[in-house]
Structures are given as C-alpha cells and as structure tokens.
Homo-oligomer: A and B are copies of this chain.
Amino acid sequence: MPHKKTDSAPLPRRARHSDVAKRAGVSPATVSKVMTGRESDRISEETRERVLAVVSELNYVPRSAVREMQTGRTGRIGVLLTHPAAFGNMDPYHLGILSGILSKAFDYRRNTLLYTALEPGADTLRQELLGGGADAVIAVGNVWTPLVEEVVTRANLPVVYVSVLPGEATTPRSVPYFGVDCDNEAGGRLGITHLTDLGHRRIAVIRGRVASNASFVQERIAGAMATADEATANLELVEYKAMEEVIKRVADGAPDAPSAFFFIEGENILGELYDDFLPRYGLSVPRDLSIVTFNSTMMSEYASVPTTSVRQPLQEIGETAVRILAEFLAAGASADHGRRTVVRLPVSLEIRASTAPVNR
C-alpha cells in the first residue's frame, strides 16, 4: 500500500476536498465549483452557503499545487533579476521596478516569485521556471547570461523585458514577448537640452560599466547626439574609465574641456565624483562643472550635491510590466498582441543644484 497518509501525524490532518463534500452532503465536484466560483458553474445560493460554511468550519484551503497541476496555471509571475548583484548593490533602480511589480501584481491577484541570476541558485531557478512554477516572466536588467537566455526562451512563457530589449537575434519563440522601458532617447535629449539652455557647448557624455550595446545606452546616446547637433553643441563620448582624464583637462582649463558631464547611466558614481575625484582637482559643482545623471533616484537626490537628473518612472515601469502580462494571460494568451509590443514611458527632468549656467 503506497503513500502513508501522514507520518504519524502530529497535526490534525488538513481538511481536503472530500471532507468538505461529505460534511456538507454534496459531491466533491460541487465543492470544487463553489471554490473556483466560475460564472458558468451555476450553483444554488443555498448549497453555496452550506459548502462555504463547512469550508470555514474545517479551515479548508485547496492545495495550490494540485490546482496548478490541474489547471496548468500557477497564478504566479516570475521576476528574474538578470543582474547577479541586483540586490547586493542595494540598487534603487531595482527597488523601484520591484516596487511597481509587487504592488501591481497584487492588484491582479498574482503572486511574485523572485529570482536572481546569481550563480549558486541558477539551477533552482531553471528547474522552477522550466518546470512551470510561474505563468509568465518579467526579466529585469541588462545582463544576458546563457541561463537567462535559456530560461526565457525555453520555458515558453510570455516574457516582458524591462529595461533591456533583446535584439532580433533572440531565439524565435512560440509565445509573444513584450518590452517596457522609458523613452531613453527623450531622456538623452532632455539632459542635453537642459545643459545647452544653460549655455553649455562642450559636454561630456559618460558611460558606465554596462555593455555598450545595451539598447538603453544606445538610445540615450542617440537622443543626446541629435539634440547636441541641433544646438551646435559639442559632444564628447567618454568611457567610465577615462573620466578622470577628462576631469584633469577641466582642471587644467584646457580649451576643449567640457563644462558639463552627462552621466547617462550609473548614478552611483556620484559619491566618488563629489567626494574624491573633483575635490582632488580642486573642482566644484556646479561652479566648474555642471552634472546631469540618469534615473533620479535617491542617489542623485541625496548626493553631496543634489544632482539634476533625468527621471524615469521606475515604479510605473514595473506596474506596466505586470499589467501587460496580466492582461495577456487573462485574454487566454489568445489575443494577437503582435510579437513585439514595446511600451515606452515618458521621462522628465528633475533639476537640482548640480547644474548652473556655464561660466567659461
């Protein structure tokens, strides 16, 4: 005889389905219908109440695993943080996105399964996602490991990419995928426009450590360049590593030295910049240099010099990702959303103390 009921149960065995049925004097199927509460299953008010009474009396809650097996739906959304250190960083960016995801997920009565592409647990993630632990996935971040690739393509789950949109190269899939990001190009424009309005004509655009081919990096640069052209300003693209040299040129008063820096990613540079690099060369912000960043999280807001920044609506991006997925799933995954719906959310500029009219 297989399966012990319980291992010499200390707990008063959980009520199940059939217990309720028996006690309410109905069939198991009826209990099921009451529990799922589907429109098409018409149940007399009387029976309904009787069943419900027993349900609460017995503290009956259907086992989610069984239901999942039956229905093939988990009610969960998997959130995959592709950056291994997404949390180690305590990164306000991820926090913002996650915040939006969480709050919206609950609106849609969905739970949230959190994964990071952190190595130690990669296989757990793989098993769970490929094993059908979630109905859909939101992939956040800009790291594109083979694991992420595999999970996201092979699980055959609807996916929303947040922040980095995959290139066309991505394996063709039999389910649609979506993207949500801010309007990076407009962000690039906004930053430059603000600076040129202040009279800056030599601007350094500084990149962080992110792979240069990430979609958002390219888009921001494109926006910045286009705007600079219109304003006949001079843009200098600087790698993160080369930043100090540029600072040196500014300190030396080189004629071609920029009067403003636009960090199109990586607000977390500010601490080092304000407390280390700049003081070392006797430079002060915004007197000698105007600074603009991207994201406008607390890193810019609370930096030694509160810093002007292009804000992207992180929370709303997260919310949108969930909304897209929830609606898609609700539509029975049938609606023809097209294979590449990308939603762009507007950016705005938050002007703080780090930018001032050029004085050279």
Asked whether A114 lies within 8 Å of B113 as measured between CB atoms, the reply is yes
Chain B residues whose C-beta falls within 8 Å of the C-beta of A110 in the assembled complex? 121, 124
Interface assignment of A342: CB less than 8 Å from any CB of chain B = no
Contact across chains for A63 and B131 when beta carbons are under 8 A apart: yes
CB of B102 within 8 A of CB of A132, answer no
Does any Cβ of B come within 8 Å of A360's Cβ?
no
Do residues B64 and A66 form an inter-chain contact, with CB atoms below 8 A? no
Number of copies of this kind of chain in the complex = 2
Instruction: List the one stretch of A91-99, A192-200, A343-351 in contact with chain B.
Output: A91-99
* Residue from the list B90, B105, B124 in contact with A75, Cβ < 8 A: B124
| A107 and B120 contacting across the interface, CB-CB below 8 Å | yes
Interface size, chain A (Cβ < 8 Å): 59
Q: Is A302 an interface residue (CB 8 A)?
A: yes
If A61-B126, A87-B95, A103-B116 are given as contacts, then 15 extra A-B residue pairs at C-beta distance below 8 Å, sorted by A number, are: A10-B174, A11-B174, A61-B131, A65-B65, A65-B68, A65-B132, A68-B68, A69-B69, A75-B124, A102-B118, A107-B120, A110-B121, A111-B114, A112-B115, A302-B302
Q: List 23 A-B contacts (CB under 8 A).
A: A10-B174, A11-B174, A59-B154, A61-B127, A62-B131, A63-B69, A64-B127, A64-B128, A65-B69, A88-B99, A102-B118, A105-B121, A106-B121, A106-B122, A106-B125, A109-B123, A111-B114, A111-B124, A111-B125, A111-B133, A112-B115, A298-B302, A302-B303
